[in-house]
A and B are shown apart, each in its own frame.
Chain A
Amino acid sequence: MEYALVIEDLSVAYHKKPVLWDIDLNVPFGTIMGIVGPNGAGKSTLMKAVLGVVKPLTGRIRLAGDTHQAHAVAYVPQKESVDWDFPTTVYDVVMMGRYGHIGWFKRPRKSDHEKVEAALKTLSMWSLKDTQIGALSGGQQQRVFLARALVQEADVYFLDEPFQGVDAKTERVMVEVFKSLKAQGKTLIIVHHDLNTVRQYFDSVTLLNVRVFASGAVEDVFTDENIMKTYQSDAHQAFWRDERV
């Protein structure tokens, strides 16, 4: 079976505290995988390690057929990670998604502008293209980030809590976009915190709390027993943390 993402023996630590421990994970092509776990479980860190934003302690990461090409992945960070007062417009933020394709010292071409326009129209944001990003609602801000990911034209999409603080309508629009990406054979890996919608949104799920408790098809692994084990493993977490401090 061909995998979009293979992780072997991955460990990540901040200041000597392990936040991820001995992670093994395979994500097949064409799935929508949710990554679920309690606060501080290392969900965002796992994503950042895969994308090269944080440096792992140990382990191997293979993305989309063993070649980590920068433009093979798209990333939607948590909304809170950027300064929304930054003097820039919706259009310019979405254009950043093309920068991986454009190259150093070069300017966007006509085709880049067309792709930005198409993505903004898909997410019903075209009329707001010249708006300063701080004037947007939470849902609109998340749509801007999603549009930026769309124009990256990646094979694998990483989204960190994309439903955080968005309105119901935006959530529906986003789920539609995810389904159409999956229909195009893309892989989506989504950090998620709402256990109620896991069965509805994802076809596979990884239960994470410092280490992987279960991973696979939702109907197989998203069981009450596995969820309990993942969310009640404070003792396990504390064990590793205390020993390392």
Chain B
Amino acid sequence: MPIKHFGVMSVFNLGFTLTVVMLGTMVLGILGGVLGTLLVLRRQALMGDALSHATLPGVMLAFMLFATRSLEVLLIGAFLSASVAYGLMLLIKRHTLLQWDAAMALMLAGFFGFGQWLLSIIQRQGTAAQAGLSRFIFGQAATMLREDVIRLTVVSAVMLIILIGLLKEFKTAVFDPDFFSSLGRSAPGIEWLLRGMTLVFIVLGIRLVGVVLISALLIAPVLTAQQWSVRFHRVLLLSAFIGGVSGLVGTYLSATRANVPTGPVIVFVLGLLFLISILVAPKEGLLRKSFEWHRLKRTLTLYAPLIHLYEQPEGTLRLEDVVRYEVQGYVLKDQDQWRLTAKGEAKVKAMKKVILDES
């Protein structure tokens, strides 16, 4: 296929393979944003982290058993290993007093450690073929085969279509599972679908983004999006957008800057967007909150004496306040006693209303 079909992309002279890889990471990022919104709202934010770390021993074992670098074989290993970890989590949850978070932390550490140990064994043997394996830790999108990227893009797109088609079902089941069941639909079924898709997402993404950081693509976009809106559809759209942009920009930067691993660069972009959002978001942003706090503080400092006079009419005023209030027409002298004018009383009442509403 000629490069010119990719329009804008070819302007930057990226070459066909990198263009494909960037589009692939973008689609994966969009999927992560959508899937992650549902996971985080279901209070399962850590699930992605646990499952992704648990894929590592599967990759290594698959390589040791079959002595191949074929991505399918390695990813099937990853899938099986994460499935075993998930099964163990269920068993731990069911048969011990441990809760989900503890079960997840246990599996994350245990499987990841085991995987690292296997990796070090493989590296010590020094076979020529082991070169690519450490790329699973932090990801290296640009070195992927074109066919592999196209395959993962297609699978991601299919999952995205399923998620969007069943969005109102997912939303209801995540928000209120009992109500969803009372509609005669299966809340556990939706839960299984969600976790299954998370597992597939991770398996698809580890070679691109790495097992350590792939879960950031599930968690960070929705947390950023939630700074901007409280409406489900807007949070979801924004989260998908952030995931997509991070994937695209992160892969581009990683590929064009002397092969920096993709995962850390994507996480850097995600982190930057989160930081900006938490500072400048219109309602929840820290700058806005701090601005409002200072404005309130200033108002109180300026008008506290006036409010005191309103509450204690026999009270006194300091000279610098008197000068200011008299010019503004809030107070009048009445036989050695400063009294509020009608305008002054109105001002106090208006301020009390604003302050009480705000606090």
A interface vs B, CB < 8 Å? 48, 51-53, 68-71, 73, 75, 77, 81-83, 86-89, 92-93, 96, 99-100, 102, 104-105, 107, 132, 148, 158
Contacts of A75 in B (CB 8 A): 178-179, 182
Is B176 within 8 A of A96, CB to CB? yes
Query: Would you call B275 an interface residue if the criterion is a C-beta within 8 Å of the partner chain's C-beta atoms?
Result: no
Q: List 24 A-B residue pairs with CB atoms under 8 Å apart, sorted by A's residue number.
A: A51-B178, A51-B181, A52-B181, A52-B182, A70-B183, A70-B184, A83-B41, A86-B232, A87-B41, A87-B226, A87-B229, A87-B231, A88-B175, A92-B231, A92-B232, A93-B175, A96-B171, A96-B172, A96-B175, A96-B176, A99-B168, A99-B169, A100-B183, A132-B231
B interface vs A, CB < 8 Å? 41, 43, 165-166, 168-169, 171-172, 175-176, 178-179, 181-185, 187, 226, 229-232, 235
Is A53 within 8 A of B175, CB to CB? no
Contacts of B175 in A (CB 8 A): 82-83, 86, 88, 93, 96
Whole-angstrom distance between the Cβ of A90 and the nearest chain B Cβ: 11
In Å, the complex CA distance between A70 and B183 comes to 5
Contacts A51-B181, A77-B178 given; indicate if A104 touches B231 (C-beta within 8 A): no
Whole-angstrom distance between the Cβ of B282 and the nearest chain A Cβ: 14
Contacts of B166 in A (CB 8 A): 104-105
Contacts of B168 in A (CB 8 A): 96, 99, 102, 107
In Å, the complex CA distance between A23 and B165 comes to 41
Contacts of A100 in B (CB 8 A): 183-184
Is B178 within 8 A of A53, CB to CB? yes
Is B232 within 8 A of A88, CB to CB? yes
Is B181 within 8 A of A82, CB to CB? no
Q: Which residue on B lies nearest to A131, using beta carbons?
A: B230
Whole-angstrom distance between the Cβ of B97 and the nearest chain A Cβ: 12
Contacts A86-B41, A100-B183, A105-B165 given; indicate if A77 touches B176 (C-beta within 8 A): yes
Contacts A87-B41, A96-B172, A104-B166 given; indicate if A48 touches B183 (C-beta within 8 A): no
Is B178 within 8 A of A132, CB to CB? no
Q: Which residue on B lies nearest to A75, using beta carbons?
A: B182
Whole-angstrom distance between the Cβ of A160 and the nearest chain B Cβ: 9
Q: Which residue on B lies nearest to A48, using beta carbons?
A: B178
